Chain A
């Protein structure tokens, strides 16, 4: 690119000043500077990659490995000894394992009814919560995007405030709000003539409580993202639709919706990943109960791994969870990405 710039410049016999400008322009196009010290970029990225390798890549691979084994206990065996002059580094094996092949997966898929139950509960929260939150978030974003709304910033801040409450903090608030005996929600229900609901005492009540809690926390977050998406839609499109006599609904259906599809897709996919990872809400609010009606997959992993020390089995659940979530995300991206 630089060479053609020079050639054409010389051919048309322009001044040197213009030549220099052109070279600078061509280099800017490449948009990277060349370090004066070779290998310098690697020095910048290596601290990141060292931690990334030890604490992210290795554990990921190890989970897959662990899922084919049964955990017997902590091991004191030495895996590797590295001698560097006077320095001797010994790397111990991190667990004492017994190979069991695919039997964990076989048991999980065909025989473990508690796992099936946890999967059902998680799927229930997903199928109710994600459509509810996305619809509500989109409606809120549309209203906030209207020209006539005043104090937009204030509304946006108040609605987004729950994101700043910690998982455990907001879970405990909901534990209290939905308490069957002294909770505010039941009190308000009785005041308007309903009978109190066994929120935490019944299976469906407990599941609904989780749905409401999760929606409360994440609604504002998704609204902000959708609002940003709405603001990228070009105004002339709306004006053109108006000239054609489009109704409010038609403008939404044929202009807004197609335009914000990528942002909507992002919200749906990230909410999917989020709901399948739910842990602290059931752990705090329902404790997985009543009688395992709200135990989620991640809570099942936690129980298997750290209460019963079936680390291999719990790893197999983790691997299955990743497969399920990735499959769902791929389907959503494929289905929602085009047309």
Chain B
């Protein structure tokens, strides 16, 4: 009996050690990013490396801003990610509403057809999209980055799943009260679906904010670079400015962390309804 108790205590202790080790391993790269962003370039090559943040952040940021117009990239990223998220939310919620709440011909085949495209890797689309964008003269335009991924199969799937939960009686009674068909969508469905809209918008925003391969192909002018492209450009240069890269990285990551930490319950809800629901 006593050995069983000891066994239990050992198991608890081991579990905590495991979790703490994992958290330390996860946090080291992020901590190191902050250290690297706040010390001068000259101290970078000192041995042993510095492990405590310095106060050189602003100087590093100035050097970065002189090298690449980082503020401009940040603006571009915000404009692109926000308008993409809004557009995609509208498209997916409208279509999801119809798939969840109306009966019409070819409903099932159309929906399963969309689902089937979820397995297509986006890399497959890069080459023809590049040709298409070049041909219609949209290279270097924000539209080229926003439009192609706005019809998001995962988005429509999540919206349909969640909108099934709206009671039909609610929609019927709104209609009895004289609501138009379109009002059913934007006055009843959208407000009741706010939590799942939030979940989807975080996923869409993160995807667009972090997108790299496709913007790399269609955005070629540094004027229209998004943050990932500006970052990759810094790495690409002959001399590697680690301090600037880390300033840029920390700036790219901070707003996302804030969004993630404040809205993580929605984020988790979003990935789970994509994954676990049958």
- Taking Cβ atoms with an 8 Å cutoff, the residues of A that contact B are 24, 27-28, 30-37, 40-42, 44-45, 47-52, 55-60, 62-63, 66, 74, 92, 94-95, 139-140, 143-144, 146, 148-149, 155, 157-170, 172-177, 181-182, 184, 187, 216, 219-221, 224-225, 228-229, 232, 248, 262-263, 266, 270, 273, 276-277, 279-280, 283-284, 298, 301-302, 305-306, 311, 314-315, 318-319, 321-322, 325-326, 329
CB contact under 8 A between A63 and B15, given known A55-B149, A166-B210: no
Select one of B16, B147, B268 contacting A51, CB under 8 A. B147
- Please state if B235 and A172 are interface contacts (CB–CB under 8 Å): yes
A63 neighbours in B (Cβ, 8 Å): 124-125, 127-128
**Would you list which residues of chain B between 131 and 160 have a CB under 8 Å from chain A?**
131-132, 134-135, 147-151, 153, 156
Complex: A306 Cα to B129 Cα, angstroms:
12
B103 neighbours in A (Cβ, 8 Å): 30, 32-34, 41
- Please state if A322 and B135 are interface contacts (CB–CB under 8 Å): no
A37 neighbours in B (Cβ, 8 Å): 181
From B150, which residue of chain A is reached at the shortest CB distance?
A: A51
> Which among A44, A55, A298 has the highest number of chain B CB atoms within 10 Å?
A44
Tell me how many residue pairs across A and B have CB atoms closer than 8 Å: 290
Select one of B22, B134, B231, B271 contacting A159, CB under 8 A. B22
Kindly state the interface size class of chain B when it binds its partner: 35 or more
A162 neighbours in B (Cβ, 8 Å): 26, 29-30
Give the Cβ gap from A192 to chain B, nearest Cβ, in Å.
13
A262 neighbours in B (Cβ, 8 Å): 278
**Would you list which residues of chain B between 33 and 82 have a CB under 8 Å from chain A?**
33, 36, 44-45, 47-49
Select one of B29, B45, B206, B261 contacting A157, CB under 8 A. B261
- Taking Cβ atoms with an 8 Å cutoff, the residues of B that contact A are 11-12, 15-16, 18-19, 22-23, 25-30, 32-33, 36, 44-45, 47-49, 90-92, 94-95, 97-99, 101-104, 107, 110, 114, 117, 119-132, 134-135, 147-151, 153, 156, 164, 168-169, 171-172, 175, 181, 185, 206, 209-210, 212-213, 217, 227-228, 231-232, 234-235, 242, 245-246, 249, 252-253, 256-257, 259-261, 264, 268, 271-272, 275-276, 278
> Which among B30, B125, B245 has the highest number of chain A CB atoms within 10 Å?
B125
